[in-house]
Amino acid sequence: MNVATAPIVAAAPLNAAPLLEIENYSGSFRARNGDLTPVLYNVSLQLKTGVITAVVGETGSGKTLVASSILGIQPATFVRTSGRILLGGVDLVSLDEKGLRKIRGGQISMVFQDARAALNPMFTVGRQLADVHQRLHGSGKAEAMEAAVDAIRRVHIPEPARRARQYPHEFSGGMAQRAMIAMAALICEPQLLILDEPTTGLDVTIQSEIMDLILELSRSRGLTTCLITHDLGVVAATCEEVVVMNAGRVVETGSAETIFTAAKDGYTRKLLAASQLGEMAA
Ligand SMILES: Nc1ncnc2c1ncn2[C@@H]1O[C@H](COP(=O)(O)OP(=O)(O)OP(=O)(O)O)[C@@H](O)[C@H]1O
Ligand SMILES: [Mg+2]
């Protein structure tokens, strides 16, 4: 077995209990004149504890909207019309801003597509990681900076102490994405890590390095991970469970193996055929 790609600990069993469950979640966008346009239709899915679940589907299918609904950061014009989002029995949609703030960054953290935009250009990368560490864990200044440098080291950025003193514009795109992963997966110490297209816009070689890093961190920390991606090649290499979305609906869910070898849904088969994966399904 190739040591570099070997999982650090075994994947959680696929019959693991769900950490997060979305049940019949529907919603619409409200236009200026008050008209509602439905965009999500009875979305139901489970994120099993310790498992990496992919959410796939073409552009506009509702992936980001579902992820941002979990964190309560959906656009202000989005109106939920039905459904629940349960984390350990608590319905997140019933929480107020204060309750959601406790969950965000603590139990659930998210990595966005554009890392550089998520970092504040005015502060060094180390300072930003340290600030979040202080806020979440009540650590002192020196301890928080130590944790920041350690997190930068653990996402394999060379010379972490020097890099911690740099500003985001001094980082490459891949490095900025590593810094955001350090923030979301290591500094926040979440139970659930959501990554929305974390490698879009990066060179292909950098993309695969970032995916290796995500896999390493998810496995070694037993994180429940939700990976939103267009790339079915990434899904095949990384994920145990797959949720397929199309036009605001979940059209198929199952183990990656089942989806790649015996997809039932016509849209899933089309996606697989387009990506030249899952010949059996095409
Ligand atoms: N602020 C908004 N106002 C109105 N409609 C929106 C808004 N944000 C998203 N939508 C619509 O909601 C639907 C789902 O969007 P979403 O961003 O979740 O798609 P996605 O699957 O993440 O797509 P992509 O792969 O391109 O990121 C789309 O039809 C989109 O046009
Ligand atoms: Mg999106």
Local confidence pLDDT in tens for the 282 residues of the chain: 344 444 444 555 667 789 999 999 999 999 999 999 999 999 999 999 999 999 999 899 999 999 999 999 999 999 999 999 999 889 999 999 999 988 987 899 999 888 888 899 999 999 999 999 999 999 999 999 999 999 999 999 999 999 999 999 999 999 999 999 999 999 999 999 999 999 988 888 988 999 999 999 999 999 999 999 988 888 988 899 999 999 999 999 999 999 999 999 999 999 898 887 655 444
Q: Whose CA is nearest to atom 9 of ligand 1?
A: 65
pLDDT of the residue at 5? 46
Pocket test for ligand 1, best of 36, 64, 199, 226 (most atoms within 8 A of CB): 64
pLDDT of the residue at 281? 44
| DSSP-assigned states of every residue in the chain | --GGGS-SSPPPPTTPPEEEEEEEEEEEEEPTTS-EEEEEEEEEEEEETT-EEEEE--TTSSHHHHHHHHHT-S-TTEEEEEEEEEETTEEGGG--HHHHHHHBTTTEEEE-S-HHHHS-TTS-HHHHHHHHHHHHH---HHHHHHHHHHHHHHTT-SSHHHHHTS-GGGS-HHHHHHHHHIIIIIIS--SEEEEESTTTTS-HHHHHHHHHHHHHHHHHHT-EEEEEES-HHHHHHH-SEEEEEETTEEEEEEEHHHHHHH--SHHHHHHHHHTT--TTT-
pLDDT of the residue at 278? 54
Ligand 1 atom with minimal separation from the 197 CA? 27
d(CA 25, ligand 2 centre) in Å: 17
d(CA 59, ligand 2 centre) in Å: 7
Pocket test for ligand 1, best of 25, 40, 63 (most atoms within 8 A of CB): 63
Ligand 1 atom with minimal separation from the 113 CA? 27
The protein residues having their C-beta less than 5 angstroms from ligand 2 (an ion) are: 64
Ligand 1 atom with minimal separation from the 68 CA? 18
Query: Would you kindly state where each structural domain of the chain is located, as residue ranges?
Result: 17-274
- Domain spanning 17-274, CATH architecture: 3-Layer(aba) Sandwich (3.40)
pTM value surpassing 0.85: yes
pLDDT of the residue at 41? 98
pLDDT of the residue at 116? 82
Identify which ligand lies nearest to the alpha carbon of 59: 1
Identify which ligand lies nearest to the alpha carbon of 29: 1
